[in-house]
């Protein structure tokens, strides 16, 4: 801790700030580079700091220059059309270490700051999340402070300042980014945007996709996803009943005995599909990158507002390529157990593998077929569905993610031997038995449930909520959603402090993505429309308080907060006067009332001697001599001295 009367070398302050800036610059990209490279950078950073602390620069500059050139050449060889961001960042990091090892002057410190800023810019190409904002604020504050001390350093390297002066300069330098922040926000809002973020063009190597669904789902393979706590997507919407949270993604209709896949279906016009009756839910979804192209939407989707997507009759949406970076889209869905459809490809939805269709292993087919026939209700597809659902959910079958029956005949072993499995086994068993009984069926892959964030008004859906369920086709009705997996498989969100803290942090991340990352031309138009509407409302002579109570309170709070923030900035910007300046101001105001104005070129005693009234001149002279007794000794005017000086001013 720096004491007010303790001298501090300006060079030491510049070094500390420079190493802090370098550390922030590299930390902003550390999670994206290779772990071995990050460890090497950390070791070299510590060695450079020790060398600077002990002032032993034993590495010649020519050797450092040769190392820098060699690494840059190596970086150019590694670069390719699909990987040039990360090699560039590693090259900048290496150049930063080289500069830290050198014996530094004014130009070297400036280069350290520049390299650190470039590293932060590189981090923006990879991921602009809430952590990036923290690094941006820290680097801006440190750079503005370092540049001021570097100015002193450039004038006199041996300059020493009192600790109080150092703290004062530091506190005042932090006002620079505070004053610049409102203008930066205004420019961010007003500058023209494009519908396609510019950073995505450069972000070839960033935001790598995570594990997710594929077109083929093998029995037991999804358990790895169901143990993954990473976030799959967030859905801004109203809170609904937990039992209605089925997030549709993929429809699987071809089964080969051990895995399901999706047949290639041509895009369809949704306007030709029968209307689904039920509650309409609007969603704004932020889908994280994953290794497939399907978009997830609540229950029975009707539309998605996203360009260049494919819509299919099975109510699924997909892009032409895998989703390798975060995607935002709005969707409209209807909550309903049934999706009406007049006609279907019955042969497709009744398909069975050879061993289950009587053309293969007869023993396997016979056991599953006998069970399906036993559970069937003659001439009543709805009753047959209910019978199978009750058998799987209320029988002696249990849900598990461990020790799954990964055998040559997984369905037979699940139904008749192990009696345990995850959602894939339950859904596959029911779909196959329905097909055996002549009822068209298919599997739907997506997510089940989610954690509702009351602060942000959105659902948080992790990868572990991955789920598959069944849709059975009932003649004259349509596709009926059936979930044979036991209800106790869905984990209930914890209410502990850790979970609450995670939700709070995720709220900030959600609004950061919604308000900053996805701020585009459409958002600008919406904001402009709101502003124009507000201006028109101001021009009207009345305000409907009954209908606009919430808006009125919101605008009132915003006005108070804006006024408070502006007042705080003005107070911080206003230079706080010392005790001697305040007392001298009182003296000059008193003299001004008596008709005596001090010129800028006059000294205090010279000013007093021009007072014509001898009595006033003597009293003023007494004040000046007492004031100079403190001022010229560079002593702080304490409370007692301040009272004495003010008393002398009153006697004038």
Reported as a pLDDT band with limits 50, 70 and 90, residue 527 is low
Q: Given a cut of 50, is residue 152 above it in pLDDT?
A: yes
65-92 per-position pLDDT tens digit: 888 788 788 777 776 655 677 888 888 9
- Same domain for 421 and 389, yes or no, is yes
Q: Given a cut of 80, is residue 111 above it in pLDDT?
A: yes
What's the pLDDT at 627?
85
What's the pLDDT at 221?
64
Of residues 369 and 162, which shows the higher confidence score? 369
d(CA 211, CA 209): 7
Q: Given a cut of 60, is residue 551 above it in pLDDT?
A: no
Mean pLDDT computed over every residue of the chain: 80
Q: Given a cut of 90, is residue 615 above it in pLDDT?
A: no
Q: Given a cut of 60, is residue 4 above it in pLDDT?
A: no
- Same domain for 402 and 296, yes or no, is yes
- Same domain for 471 and 385, yes or no, is yes
From 490, 515, 550, the end of a domain falls on 490
Residue 70 tokens, joined: 């060699």
d(CA 168, CA 170): 5
Mean of pLDDT values over 525-546: 54
- Same domain for 163 and 235, yes or no, is no
What's the pLDDT at 194?
52
363 occurs within a structural domain: yes
Q: Are strands 420-421 and 398-399 parallel, antiparallel or unpaired?
A: parallel
If one counts every other C-beta atom within 10 angstroms of the C-beta of residue 519, the result is: 16
What's the pLDDT at 249?
93
Residue 99 and residue 41 in contact, taking contact as beta carbons nearer than 8 Å: no
What's the pLDDT at 526?
60
- Same domain for 471 and 536, yes or no, is no
If one counts every other C-beta atom within 10 angstroms of the C-beta of residue 644, the result is: 14
CA dihedral 180, 186, 192, 196 (to 10 degrees): 80
> Count of domains in the chain?
4
What's the pLDDT at 474?
95
195 occurs within a structural domain: yes
| Range list of β-strands (E), 148-288 | 160-162, 216-218, 231-236, 246-252, 254-255, 259-261, 279-287
Main-chain phi, psi angles of 459, to 5 degrees: -95, 135
Q: Given a cut of 70, is residue 123 above it in pLDDT?
A: yes
Q: Given a cut of 60, is residue 16 above it in pLDDT?
A: yes
Q: Are strands 309-311 and 317-319 parallel, antiparallel or unpaired?
A: antiparallel
Provide the domain limits for residue 49. 7-202
CB proximity list for 129: less than 8 A, separation 6 or greater: 509, 512, 513, 517
269 occurs within a structural domain: no
Reported as a pLDDT band with limits 50, 70 and 90, residue 373 is very high
d(CA 254, CA 260): 6
- Same domain for 478 and 421, yes or no, is yes
Please list the residues that pair with 469 across neighbouring strands: 444
Q: Given a cut of 60, is residue 496 above it in pLDDT?
A: no
271 occurs within a structural domain: no
What's the pLDDT at 302?
87
Identity of the highest mean pLDDT range in 358-372, 485-499, 553-567: 358-372
d(CA 202, CA 577): 50
Q: Given a cut of 70, is residue 642 above it in pLDDT?
A: yes
For residue 284, give the 3-state DSSP assignment: strand
Q: Which residue has the tokens 């500058």?
A: 191
List the single range of 467-476, 561-570, 625-634 with lowest mean pLDDT. 561-570
Residue 568 and residue 575 in contact, taking contact as beta carbons nearer than 8 Å: no
209 occurs within a structural domain: no
- Same domain for 167 and 301, yes or no, is no
What's the pLDDT at 158?
84
H-helix segments, 79-105: 85-101
225-266 per-position pLDDT tens digit: 656 778 899 999 999 999 999 999 999 999 998 899 998 777
158 occurs within a structural domain: yes
Residue 78 tokens, joined: 């590694």
Identity of the highest mean pLDDT range in 54-68, 474-488, 616-630: 474-488
- Same domain for 400 and 326, yes or no, is yes
List the single range of 22-26, 345-349, 394-398, 435-439 with lowest mean pLDDT. 394-398
- Same domain for 86 and 137, yes or no, is yes
- Same domain for 516 and 462, yes or no, is no
Residue 468 tokens, joined: 């598959």
Q: Given a cut of 60, is residue 482 above it in pLDDT?
A: yes
203-223 per-position pLDDT tens digit: 444 444 444 456 677 886 655
Identity of the highest mean pLDDT range in 440-454, 588-602, 619-633: 440-454
Q: Given a cut of 60, is residue 334 above it in pLDDT?
A: yes
Reported as a pLDDT band with limits 50, 70 and 90, residue 545 is very low
What's the pLDDT at 335?
93
Q: Given a cut of 60, is residue 192 above it in pLDDT?
A: no
- Same domain for 292 and 440, yes or no, is yes
What's the pLDDT at 122?
86
What's the pLDDT at 621?
87
What's the pLDDT at 142?
92
For residue 208, give the 3-state DSSP assignment: coil
Please list the residues that pair with 333 across neighbouring strands: 281, 301
430 occurs within a structural domain: yes
- Same domain for 362 and 242, yes or no, is yes
What is 460-505 written as a DSSP string? EEEGGGEEEEEEEEETTTEEEEE--S-GGGSPPPP-SHHHHHHHHH
183 occurs within a structural domain: yes
Distances (CA, A) of 91 to 31, 309, 349, 549: 16, 38, 56, 57
Closest Cα partner for 403 from 382, 425, 383, 386? 425
Mean of pLDDT values over 426-435: 95
Closest Cα partner for 393 from 365, 355, 423? 423
Q: Given a cut of 80, is residue 271 above it in pLDDT?
A: no
pTM of the model: 0.62
């Amino acid at each position: 801790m720096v004491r007010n009367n303790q001298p501090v070398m300006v060079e030491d302050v510049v070094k500390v700030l420079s190493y802090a800036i370098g550390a922030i610059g590299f930390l902003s990209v550390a999670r994206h580079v290779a772990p071995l490279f990050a460890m090497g950078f950390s070791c070299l950073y510590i060695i450079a700091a020790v060398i600077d602390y002990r002032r032993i620069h034993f590495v010649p500059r020519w050797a450092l220059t040769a190392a820098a050139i060699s690494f840059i050449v190596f970086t150019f060889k590694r670069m390719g059309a699909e990987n040039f961001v990360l090699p560039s960042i590693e090259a900048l990091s290496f150049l930063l270490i080289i500069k830290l090892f050198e014996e530094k002057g004014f130009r070297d410190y400036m280069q350290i700051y520049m390299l650190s800023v470039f590293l932060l810019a590189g981090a923006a190409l990879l991921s602009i999340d809430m952590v990036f904002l923290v690094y941006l604020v820290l680097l801006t504050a440190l750079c503005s402070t370092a540049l001021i001390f570097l100015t002193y350093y450039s004038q006199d390297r041996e300059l020493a300042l009192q600790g109080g002066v150092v703290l004062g300069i530091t506190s005042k330098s932090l006002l620079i980014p505070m004053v610049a922040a409102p203008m930066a926000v205004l420019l961010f809002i007003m500058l023209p945007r494009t519908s396609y973020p510019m950073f995505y063009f450069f972000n070839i190597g960033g935001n790598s996709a995570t594990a997710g669904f594929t077109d083929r789902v093998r029995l037991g393979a999804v358990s790895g996803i169901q143990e993954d706590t990473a976030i799959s997507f967030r859905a801004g919407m109203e809170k609904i009943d937990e039992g209605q949270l089925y997030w549709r993604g993929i429809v699987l209709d071809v089964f080969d005995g051990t895995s399901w896949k999706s047949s290639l279906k041509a895009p369809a016009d949704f306007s030709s599909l029968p209307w689904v009756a039920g509650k309409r839910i609007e969603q704004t979804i932020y889908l994280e990158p994953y290794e497939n192209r399907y978009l997830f939407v609540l229950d029975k989707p009707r539309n998605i507002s996203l360009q260049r997507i494919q819509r299919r009759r099975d109510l699924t949406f997909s892009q032409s390529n895998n989703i390798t970076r975060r995607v935002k889209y709005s969707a409209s869905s209807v909550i309903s157990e049934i999706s009406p459809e007049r006609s279907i490809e019955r042969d497709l939805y009744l398909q069975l593998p050879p061993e289950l269709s009587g053309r293969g292993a007869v023993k396997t087919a016979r056991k599953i077929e006998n069970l399906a026939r036993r559970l069937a209700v003659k001439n009543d597809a709805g009753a047959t569905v209910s019978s199978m659902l009750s058998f799987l959910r209320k029988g002696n079958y249990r849900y598990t993610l461990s020790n799954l029956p990964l055998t040559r005949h997984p369905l037979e072993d699940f139904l008749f031997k192990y009696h345990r499995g995850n959602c894939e086994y339950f859904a596959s068993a029911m779909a196959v038995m329905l097909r055996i009984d002549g009822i068209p069926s298919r599997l739907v892959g997506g997510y089940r449930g989610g954690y509702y964030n009351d602060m942000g008004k959105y659902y948080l859906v992790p990868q572990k909520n991955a789920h598959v369920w069944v849709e059975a086709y009932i003649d004259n009705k349509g596709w009926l959603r059936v979930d044979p997996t036991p209800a106790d498989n869905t984990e209930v969100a914890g209410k502990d402090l850790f979970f609450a803290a995670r939700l709070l942090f995720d709220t900030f991340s959600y609004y950061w993505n919604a308000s900053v990352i996805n701020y585009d031309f459409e958002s600008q138009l919406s904001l402009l429309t709101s502003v124009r509407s507000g201006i028109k409302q101001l021009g009207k002579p009345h305000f409907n308080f009954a209908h606009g109570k919430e808006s009125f309170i919101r605008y009132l709070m915003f006005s108070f907060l804006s006024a408070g923030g502006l007042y705080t900035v003005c107070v911080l910007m206003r230079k706080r006067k010392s005790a001697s300046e305040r007392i001298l101001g009182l003296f000059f105001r008193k003299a001004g009332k008596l008709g005596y104005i001090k010129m800028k070129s006059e000294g205090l005693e010279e000013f007093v001697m021009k007072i014509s009234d001898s009595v006033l001149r003597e009293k003023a002279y007494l004040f000046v001599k007492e004031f100079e007794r403190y001022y010229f000794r560079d002593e702080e005017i304490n409370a007692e001295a301040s009272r004495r000086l003010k008393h002398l001013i009153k006697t004038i």
